[in-house]
Amino acid sequence: MNPNATITDEQFKQYLKEVREMVEGPYTEWQKEIEVTNKFPEKFYQSNIEHNIYCFSLPVEYGGWGLNEKEILQVQEEFSRGPSGMRMHMHYASDLNWRILDDFGQPEVKEKYMPLFQDKTIFTNFALTEKSGGTGADLHSTAVWDEEKGKWILNGEKWLISHTDCSQFSYVICVTDPDKKGDDRLSAFFVPMDKPGFELVPMPHMMGCRGSGHTGLKFTNVELEPELMLGKRGEGMKVAMHSLAVSRVHIATSNLGISQRMFEMSIARARDRVTFGKPIIKRQAIRVKLANMQMMIHCLRCAIIDFCDDFDLDPEGEYISEKAAICKLFSIDTVRLVSDEMLEIFGGDGYFEDSPYGPTELLYRDCRAMWLEEGAPTVQRITIAKGIEDHDGTLEYQTWIAGSKLD
């Protein structure tokens, strides 16, 4: 463990085991009801509190364990082995939920609210995406300064926002300076959801990740005190992109966890399935599939470990955004290959619910959401391409010198 952690190596290993048993046991069983209701039961939140899901990633001063990013993401890999709607909630709880306020909140707001994350007294959602403008600088929601009231007046709509049924605050990125160009137009706010004029707009059920509370948001003359701004005026995209860089690696780690689970189920199936007197794990075609799955999973895990080495040394490091996008993009290729190969190894049995090997069809559906969370593949390629242009195609590593600029 890192020297600031409040738990030992043995306690950490035991916690990883506890989390794995939790998501593969009761959480997977509860998901059967959630698939119909599209809503998490109260016992899910209570169980998360009992198992320290809302506090393990927090800094010590806010009731957390003082874990670094490499340790936090190992927990993420384990809880990603279960249903992905629950995974989406726990992933957000361990990252963006508190990190944006901690990194960019005004001192008086942080002092009031940061201690309340540890037991889910408060929860947030992240509101960037819009129907009309996507997730870039072309947003249309606005916050206009009212000199007479001494407040910002927020209007507009957001779409496809998670966790809205269990949160009290929303991190909103919007236009404050429409006459400026690009990212300078945008600012970010910590918006209480009980403000007059704040509404939820229902959305239909998704293919997978059921229960994760997706709705649209509508703002009609929502009044915001100046201390609710995150960072400085004009730093909205900075808030978003810095936060998303870390969150994209959390998504990559989710893809790692779900891929590892599907890989293990595939091995078990290949050992048990016998054709012409021989387990199919002995068949060359199946061995090629398993080898490809292992290769992708190993390379993804190595990329995530490398990102953590950089981030834990300097969260503002030069290559953080580019490496985060690489992790997210490669993780999509990984989970796509692993899920497709799993289904082929299982054959028709893998397409049905209640497989004795685990939730094959659920994980196959759920992992499709990973294509889109925190930016689709094209968005990741844009970020990577910008890094290529900025750094002349080089990346640097903590323990590897060759291939760098050697300046």
Q: Tell me, what CATH number does 30's domain have? A: 1.10.540.10
Is residue 162 a contact partner of residue 214, using CB atoms and an 8 Å limit?
Answer: yes
Query: What was the pLDDT predicted at 9?
Result: 98
pTM of structure: 0.93
- What CATH number has the domain bearing residue 303? 1.20.140.10
**Left if phi > 0, otherwise alpha if psi is -120 to 50, otherwise beta: which for 128?**
alpha
Residue that finishes a domain, picked among 82, 116, 150: 116
| 2 within a domain of the structure (yes/no) | no
Both 263 and 169 in one domain: the answer is no
Per residue of the chain (407 residues), give pLDDT as tens. Answer: 999 999 999 999 999 999 999 999 999 999 999 888 889 999 999 999 999 999 999 999 999 999 999 999 999 999 999 998 898 899 999 999 999 999 999 999 999 999 999 999 999 999 999 987 655 567 999 999 999 999 999 999 999 899 999 999 999 999 999 999 888 999 999 999 999 999 999 887 766 677 676 899 999 999 999 999 999 999 999 999 888 888 899 999 999 999 999 999 999 999 999 999 999 999 999 999 999 999 999 999 999 999 999 999 999 999 999 999 999 999 999 999 999 999 999 998 888 888 999 999 889 988 888 877 778 899 899 999 999 999 999 999 999 999 988 87
Both 135 and 195 in one domain: the answer is yes
Which residues 6+ apart lie within 8 Å of 334 measured at CB?
255, 256, 259, 296, 297, 299, 300
Both 89 and 131 in one domain: the answer is no
Both 176 and 258 in one domain: the answer is no
Both 17 and 143 in one domain: the answer is no
Query: What was the pLDDT predicted at 136?
Result: 59
| 291 within a domain of the structure (yes/no) | yes
| 316 within a domain of the structure (yes/no) | yes
| 1 within a domain of the structure (yes/no) | no
Both 111 and 54 in one domain: the answer is yes
Both 160 and 262 in one domain: the answer is no
| 311 within a domain of the structure (yes/no) | yes
The token pair at 22 is 């939790």
Is residue 110 a contact partner of residue 95, using CB atoms and an 8 Å limit?
Answer: no
User: How far is it, in rounded angstroms, from Cα 348 to Cα 368?
Assistant: 19
Both 259 and 371 in one domain: the answer is yes
Both 269 and 241 in one domain: the answer is yes
The token pair at 325 is 């996008």
User: How far is it, in rounded angstroms, from Cα 232 to Cα 25?
Assistant: 45
| 405 within a domain of the structure (yes/no) | no
Both 141 and 189 in one domain: the answer is yes
| 396 within a domain of the structure (yes/no) | no
Residue that finishes a domain, picked among 234, 249, 281: 234
Residue that finishes a domain, picked among 97, 116, 135: 116
Both 171 and 277 in one domain: the answer is no
The token pair at 82 is 């279960």
- What CATH number has the domain bearing residue 198? 2.40.110.10
Query: What was the pLDDT predicted at 108?
Result: 98
Both 227 and 242 in one domain: the answer is no
| 400 within a domain of the structure (yes/no) | no
Query: What was the pLDDT predicted at 208?
Result: 62
Which residues 6+ apart lie within 8 Å of 88 measured at CB?
162, 163, 209, 212, 369, 373
Q: Whole domain around residue 100: which residue ranges? A: 9-116
Strand 151-161 versus strand 142-146 pairing type: antiparallel
In angstroms, how far apart are the furthest CA atoms of the chain? 83
User: How far is it, in rounded angstroms, from Cα 363 to Cα 80?
Assistant: 10
The token pair at 369 is 């959401």
Domain count, the chain: 3
